Amino acid sequence: MELTQKQKEHFYEMGYVHVPGVIPREYVDAALNAINHSLGEGIDPARLTTFRAQSYAPELQREPIITDLYNATPVKGLVESMIGEGSVRPIGGGQIALRFPITPGKTPGQPMPHLDGMYTPTNGVPEGRIASFTMLIGVALSDVPGPFCGNLTVWPRTHHLYEQYFREHGPEALLQGMPPIALPEPVHLTAKAGDVMLCHYELAHTAAPNASPHVRYAIYFRASRVNHEQQWKEAMTDIWMEWPGMQSVLQSNRV
């Protein structure tokens, strides 16, 4: 499976693309079964903050029941069609990301954006380091029918804005916090179980509050092109250098 030229053009302009129906239902159901079984064993309240920042059911993160959502489905082909066949570091684990409903009757506020790989006391990123990568892959394990349902929320075109900012201020400026620039309105992405969302690393995003009656289930994978650790600074100021599958779109936009 590869993205169409139209999908790639949307990705170039907006920084993300929603691809419906990628994951077969049996893989979705198997992952949900394993996650819900883990939850049924009990959640340590003292670890909830870490689970929210890193992953629920951490004992499952590297198990095939989770990694097969990437490695044994068309997701891998989609990613390689953008970053390059054989050029993506192996995916050995996924983030199990759940969003539970907020307090009943509470009005949800608009979420704040972030870039992954920035240090917080609970997310596991070492202080003073930017743990960047190439592409964020979101796999929906439950339907997300409308806004404020725990949606993956994105700020379109911010990958272009941040590229310019880091060219002017250097990639290490991210260590001081999110770039202080004006942002567009956010988009709450809707999805059905089995859909996949592909996002450029440099796209501002977050999870919306979940005011629905249902738990939102998703898995996030983070793909890096080989040698990314050696060229991460260059990749933040030249946002398509790790994307050979985007060259036709880049050429058409230079005409």
**Residue 66, pLDDT score:** 98
Architecture of domain 5-254: Sandwich (2.60)
**Residue 1, pLDDT score:** 80
Contact between residue 197 and residue 156 where contact means Cβ atoms under 8 Å apart:
no
HEC profile for 108-173? CCCCCCECCCCCCCCCCCCCCCCCCCCEEEEEECCCECCCCECCEEECCCHHHHHHHHHHHHCHHH
Taking residues 52-75, report their average pLDDT. Answer: 96
**Residue 36, pLDDT score:** 97
Is the pLDDT assigned to residue 127 strictly greater than 70? yes
Number of CB atoms found within 10 A of residue 106's CB:
10
**Residue 248, pLDDT score:** 85
Residue with tokens 């890096």: 224
Taking residues 88-111, report their average pLDDT. Answer: 95
Taking residues 28-37, report their average pLDDT. Answer: 98
Taking residues 6-27, report their average pLDDT. Answer: 97
* pLDDT classification of 72: cutoffs 50, 70, 90: very high
Alpha helices by DSSP H, listed for the chain, are 5-14, 25-40, 48-53, 64-71, 75-83, 158-169, 228-237, 247-254
Taking residues 98-110, report their average pLDDT. Answer: 93
Is the pLDDT assigned to residue 251 strictly greater than 90? no
Is the pLDDT assigned to residue 135 strictly greater than 60? yes
Q: How far are the Cα atoms of 148, 154, 210 from residue 107, in angstroms, in the given order?
A: 10, 20, 10
Provide the mean pLDDT of the chain.
95
Q: Which residue in 154, 146, 144, 163 sits closest to 112, CA to CA?
A: 154
Q: Which residue in 151, 140, 156, 139 sits closest to 108, CA to CA?
A: 151
Q: Where are the domains of the chain?
A: 5-254
| Tens-digit pLDDT profile for residues 187-232 | 999 999 999 999 999 999 999 999 999 999 999 999 999 999 999 9
Taking residues 30-59, report their average pLDDT. Answer: 94
Number of CB atoms found within 10 A of residue 195's CB:
22
| Contacts of 55 by beta carbon, 8 Å cutoff, 6+ apart | 61, 94, 95, 96, 97
Is the pLDDT assigned to residue 254 strictly greater than 80? no
Taking residues 155-173, report their average pLDDT. Answer: 98
